[in-house]
Amino acid sequence: MMSSRSVTRLGEACRYKDAHCILCLLVEPRRDTFCPAAWSWEKTVGRTMAKDKKKPSESKKAKKAEKAAKQASKGEKKAKTKAARLDGSDGEDVDLDEVLEAYRRQQEQFHKVTETICDGPPRPRAASTLLAAPHDSNSLLLFGGEYFNGSLANFFNDLHIYNIARDEWRSVSSPNAPLPRSGHAWTRASNPSFVYLFGGEFSSPKQGTFHHYSDFWRLEPATREWTKIESRARDKSPPARSGHRMTYWKQYIILFGGFQDTSNQTKYLADLWIFDTVHYLWHCAVLPPAQLKPDARSSFTLLPCEQGAVLYGGYSRVKANVTIKKKGSKTQSSGNKNVLVPRVHDDCFFLRMALPPVGASPETPPTVRWERRKKPANAPNPSRAGATMTWHKGRGIMFGGVHDVEQSEEGMDSEFFNQLFAWNIERNRFMPLSLRKPRQQKKAVTEQRLGRRGRAQANEEELLRQLAALETGASLDDADDMELDWRPEQGAAEDEKPVREMPVSMEPPHMRFNAQLAVQDDVLYIYGGTFEKGDREFTFDDLFAIDLSKLDGCKEVFSRPVEDWVESEDEDEDEDSEGDEGDDEEDDEEDDQTDDEGEAMHTPSKRKKHEREVSSPDTASEASSWSATREDEETETTATSVDDGLPHPRPFESRREFFARTSAEWQEVLMTSLRWKGTQPETMSIKEIKTKAFELSEEKWWDCREEMTALEEEHDAAGIQEVVSLSERGDGSTGGAKRR
């Protein structure tokens, strides 16, 4: 029995004031009833009193006191968690139809579309959609999503608009908007005036029951107005789903895949639907049974191309036979069992499309056909799920992903990624994108003006100078010295407020999967995403920007700390049992090390550990053998140029410099192409020809961007800062004697 003085002093300090607290009642500690503070006191003080002859050092006393405080704070946290669970304990008893109807009634209270400036970025969310505004190259659109804190799920239906130049978020409320959802898909159309959205899911707060949407919406970004598109026949529209993908081709919207999740099973879909934006009709593509087509999947990539669309990757769960062995037997088995195992797809398909014949009825669908492509060269290895991709200048920009390494006793060991890749759609080839320090410019050019409007103004000035040079008969090299009778728009600079200085890092964002990507004005924006550690799921609350033309760093638009995870009851019990065993068996140093590791969100995966091991000099032979496995599956990542007879950019050459050097050649290419199409170039003005030629040169510049990036890195390593051709210089310095 402990002294009453010690117990009374500790009992007065007990924060719980529990009637059953063993310290408050001055009772000897028992394991059947106690408060966290009392049990912490027993382990730290009681054992020390029993060991008078073995007095611990001051450092150990401090560590134990710190551990006691930590246990007490954990008790408080669990009490709050329990209260949160009690608040949402009836979350599974709600009727989803009633909840959605309440959302509808609440939304009807908005009499008109209102736009409000937000104090900061929107709340964190996963499975939302981010899109570059098609009507305004200075805006991003963000809609929907969900946030799960470990206990309850919250869904959103707010539309947020981010103004890039102002660094400003706006929230749009509308009387007619889609209900809260996540896992939906949307895409712009060939007509930049509209954005189309389909499907998604909604669940009860504890995610016990799910509701999938089958509604189809059209958003007009300029006016912020939503319009629900009703189908003429119920069987003439896609069924409800989430996790699908959409893209556009000419006047059509393409929809494929996804899944339907019920309380009993998850069904993955492989149907193809096409929506005609002119006649407002859905077409279900009926393909021959013998025709090769993609397997059912979700979370894949679907990008537009000139003759249709391309599909890559995805995720699904397929049935597999697993042998079940008897307990205590090594040879005899009790039979096979069908279970669902995850499957990460790494195949690629091309959807070839053709317009209906001229004069066909409006109900005639376009001709479609799936064609299997070869596996892309230099595909990311290992294959990964949740690696999102967005379209940019004839290529796909990929970021992140997760790969399940192995199943251990503790659960699935997963590896997360934060690598950037560019997938050239036409060449079917991946190239890694690496950030690099910005090069020092020889002179301050007009492109360095702040803001997108300044860059556009500089491009317009350059184009007008070159047009003036052509009209006067001067050379393009003299265009920079010409003066223009041109003034920028009045009040243009006054509309933009100065943008704050944003931190720039030479490392990509933290590894994650299912991040939302969008490219606006050649800048890649990475929003949110998910990271898992054990049974915990972290939703990132950040936005980053990377200039794809320069790759000179990752700009942090905003980044807020990850919110606390509300642990489930199973996690609480596991932590309690693990903590008790650890206190009894492990020493103080190991406990401290474990606590530090538990606080970190990122832990290196086994693959990363293996890479560090093989990088040492003693294991160089192991590293070579390990890297050889990748060489068997894919080709080298060295960029190879394709000779198509068109002018080729040089390393370190910007788009403006490339066009200034090859402008005459691109105009010849354009006029030849026009004549082949039956159009006479003489019917076009010089400015129109110049603009079209610049678009062709820009397309070529982006098509070769990964090759030039690889060459620029080689030149940087060799100390080469610029590549010039002496034969093109006008000073005649082509001979060796002249140079000397």
Mean pLDDT of 26-37: 43
Residue 201: per-residue pLDDT? 95
Highest mean pLDDT among 207-211, 317-321, 398-402: 398-402
How does the average pLDDT of the chain come out, rounded?
75
**E strand spans, 328-377:** 333-354, 367-373
Mean pLDDT of 42-53: 41
Whether the link from the prior residue into 617 is cis, omega within 30° of 0, is no
Closest CA to 338 of 356, 312, 320: 320
Confidence class for position 64, pLDDT limits 50, 70, 90:
confident
The CA-atom distances, in angstroms, between 323 and each of 318, 330, 338, 416, 633 are 16, 12, 9, 30, 30
Report the alpha-carbon distance of residue 272 to residue 284 in Å, rounded: 6
Residue 592: per-residue pLDDT? 47
Confidence class for position 112, pLDDT limits 50, 70, 90:
confident
Token pair for residue 46? 């009681």
Residue 14: per-residue pLDDT? 45
Residue 59: per-residue pLDDT? 65
Query: What single DSSP character describes residue 42?
Result: I
Contact yes or no for 213/187 (Cβ under 8 A): no
Report the alpha-carbon distance of residue 458 to residue 730 in Å, rounded: 26
pLDDT surpasses 90 at 215: yes
Residue 675: per-residue pLDDT? 81
Report the alpha-carbon distance of residue 347 to residue 312 in Å, rounded: 6
Q: State whether residue 704 is helix, strand or coil.
A: coil
> Each residue of 53-88: b (16+ CB within 10 Å) or e?
eeeeeeeeeebbeebbeebbebbeebeebeeebeeb
Closest CA to 310 of 387, 242, 376: 376
Which range (76-90, 223-237, 358-372, 459-473) has the least confidence? 76-90
Helix or strand holding residue 201 (H, E): strand 201-203
Confidence class for position 31, pLDDT limits 50, 70, 90:
very low
Closest CA to 355 of 439, 274, 425: 274
Give residue-wise pLDDT tens across range 563-593. Answer: 777 765 555 555 555 555 555 544 544 444 4
Token pair for residue 52? 């008078």
Runs of H (alpha helix) within 36-114: 36-41, 47-50, 58-87, 96-108
Residue 618: per-residue pLDDT? 40
Which range (142-156, 173-187, 216-230, 495-509) has the least confidence? 495-509
Of 147 and 472, the structure prediction assigns the larger pLDDT to 147
Q: Which residues contact 304 (CB under 8 A, 6 or more apart)?
A: 247, 248, 249, 391
Residue 165: per-residue pLDDT? 94
Residue 486: per-residue pLDDT? 46
Q: Left, alpha or beta for 256 (phi > 0: left; psi -120 to 50: alpha)?
A: beta
Closest CA to 569 of 37, 24, 144, 89: 89
Report the alpha-carbon distance of residue 430 to residue 556 in Å, rounded: 26
Which range (130-134, 159-163, 582-586) has the least confidence? 582-586
Highest mean pLDDT among 316-325, 460-469, 520-529: 520-529
Residue 571: per-residue pLDDT? 53
Which range (75-84, 192-201, 423-432) has the least confidence? 75-84
Give residue-wise pLDDT tens across range 241-287. Answer: 999 999 999 999 999 999 998 777 889 999 999 999 999 999 999 88
Residue 478: per-residue pLDDT? 54
Residue 351's DSSP bridge partners are 309, 370
* Residue 466, number of CB atoms within 10 A of its CB: 22
Residue 464: per-residue pLDDT? 67
Confidence class for position 300, pLDDT limits 50, 70, 90:
very high
Mean pLDDT of 222-232: 89
Of 513 and 176, the structure prediction assigns the larger pLDDT to 513
Report the alpha-carbon distance of residue 286 to residue 76 in Å, rounded: 60
pLDDT surpasses 80 at 551: yes
What percent of the chain lies above the pLDDT cut of 70? 62
Confidence class for position 491, pLDDT limits 50, 70, 90:
very low
pLDDT surpasses 50 at 89: no
Residue 133: per-residue pLDDT? 96
Confidence class for position 235, pLDDT limits 50, 70, 90:
low
Highest mean pLDDT among 601-615, 694-708, 714-728: 694-708
Give residue-wise pLDDT tens across range 458-485. Answer: 666 666 666 666 666 555 455 555 554 5
Give residue-wise pLDDT tens across range 529-546. Answer: 999 988 888 999 999 999
Token pair for residue 5? 């003085």
* Integer Rg of the chain from CA: 31
Strand order in the sheet with 168-173: 114-117, 168-173, 159-163, 139-143, 129-132
pLDDT surpasses 50 at 228: yes
Confidence class for position 555, pLDDT limits 50, 70, 90:
very high
Give residue-wise pLDDT tens across range 596-638. Answer: 444 445 444 443 443 333 333 343 333 333 333 334 444 343 4
Taking every pair of Cα atoms in the chain, the longest distance, rounded to a whole number of angstroms, is 107
The CA-atom distances, in angstroms, between 41 and each of 52, 135, 588 are 17, 65, 16
Highest mean pLDDT among 81-90, 133-142, 318-327, 400-409: 133-142
Report the alpha-carbon distance of residue 119 to residue 558 in Å, rounded: 13
Q: Left, alpha or beta for 280 (phi > 0: left; psi -120 to 50: alpha)?
A: left
Token pair for residue 16? 């719980």
Q: Which residues contact 84 (CB under 8 A, 6 or more apart)?
A: 151, 152, 566
Residue 484: per-residue pLDDT? 47
Residue 573: per-residue pLDDT? 53
Residue 508: per-residue pLDDT? 96
Contact yes or no for 247/309 (Cβ under 8 A): yes
